[in-house]
Structure 1
Amino acid sequence: MYENRFTNWVRWCDRNVTEEVKYPGIYIVAVADEDISGSNFSWTTDIAYVGMTNSLKGLAGRLKQFDNTIKGKSGHGGADRMRLKYQNYNELVNKLYVAVAPFTCNVKSHKPEDLRVMGEVAKFEYDCFACFTELFGCLPEFNDHVKSPKYSLTIGRKEYILEV
């Protein structure tokens, strides 16, 4: 049902190639052993994370935060969980793909129509969680806060304690 709302899968390194990333919206990250770039978005167990943004920097800004976090910085909770499992950035990005569902609006505006679109973004994220859960019986791996702890609260915390 929601499949037509998303772009085709793109390699992580090509995530900013399209104009759509300047808008707010939903992004879905997959970790796949085979190359899925260019293929139509579809719900798959390779989906590792579903996220959203209504920020001024749009999807591009949020995906940059995700990238910075899997590289070892901080700023994105889901990416911090992914980093615990995939600690080698270079190996991970070769298997990382993203599809986006942009929502055209002016995030700086307080006009009712723009505010409604931003509300649609938030609702659509939860619709995506519901769809994934209906298909696979659980949340995507790194959306599950209980089953996927954060790097910064496990290994990162141990590293910090050792330094002090």
Structure 2
Amino acid sequence: MYENRFTNRMRWVDREQSEGIQYPGIYICAITDEDLSSKDFSWITNIVYVGMTNSVKGLKGRLKQFDNTIKGKSGHGGADRMRYKYQNYNELVNKLYVAVAPFTCNVKSNSPEDLRTMGQVAKFEYDCFARFTELFGYLPEFNDYAKSPKYSLATGHEE
């Protein structure tokens, strides 16, 4: 069920080529030296972050915020935690992969159908947390606030 909802994995630098990226949805990041590009999504221990967006800018906008934060700006909490551990952007993006699960809807609409779809996005994120935890016994590293400090807070470099 979960696996079929996601695109194939793609290199971080290729993230904007994904279909449906203009819509809200879920994105799952993995860090590995293995080339995962174009591989089917599956649950692996290399998954380090599960995120979601219901914003007007969709997945494209949220992934841009994530990218800006791992580059050194602020704006994304999970990326700020990732930056604490991976401070060299170029080294990180060479082994960072993402798969997305877009949900087609109009986030500006108050129609019952669109509101339900946006609720499905939020629920699906928690379903993904639950599935990962069922399989591995813990949350993805940068979703675990207690175990993963933010770069900006640890270094005093909030921007």
Give the TM-score band, short-chain normalised.
over 0.9
1:87 and 2:95 are equivalent in the alignment = no
1:125 and 2:125 are equivalent in the alignment = yes
- TM-superposed CA distance for 1:19, in Å, is 2.8
Amino acid at match of 1:92: L
Indicate the RMSD between aligned Cα atoms, in angstroms.
0.9
Give, in whole Å, the separation in 1 of the partners of 2:69 and 2:7. Answer: 24
Give, in whole Å, the separation in 2 of the partners of 1:21 and 1:47. Answer: 20
What SS does structure 1 have at the residue aligned with 2:70? Answer: helix
**Match in the other structure for 2:18:** 18
Structure 1: unaligned runs, 5 residues or longer: none
Structure 2: unaligned runs, 5 residues or longer: none
Give, in whole Å, the separation in 2 of the partners of 1:136 and 1:34. Answer: 20
**Match in the other structure for 1:109:** 109
Give, in whole Å, the separation in 2 of the partners of 1:63 and 1:146. Answer: 23
**Match in the other structure for 1:57:** 57
4+ aligned runs moved over 6 Å, structure 1: none
Higher-Rg member (1/2): 1
Amino acid at match of 2:102: P
State the TM-score, normalized to the length of structure 2.
0.98
What SS does structure 2 have at the residue aligned with 1:20? Answer: coil
- TM-superposed CA distance for 1:20, in Å, is 1.2
- TM-superposed CA distance for 1:83, in Å, is 0.1
Give, in whole Å, the separation in 1 of the partners of 2:34 and 2:139. Answer: 22
**Match in the other structure for 1:48:** 48
What SS does structure 1 have at the residue aligned with 2:13? Answer: helix
Give, in whole Å, the separation in 2 of the partners of 1:135 and 1:33. Answer: 22
- TM-superposed CA distance for 1:81, in Å, is 0.1
**Match in the other structure for 1:141:** 141
What SS does structure 1 have at the residue aligned with 2:126? Answer: helix
Count of matched residue pairs: 158
Residues 1-12 of structure 1: matches in 2 within 5 Å? 1-12=1-12
Give, in whole Å, the separation in 2 of the partners of 1:18 and 1:28. Answer: 13
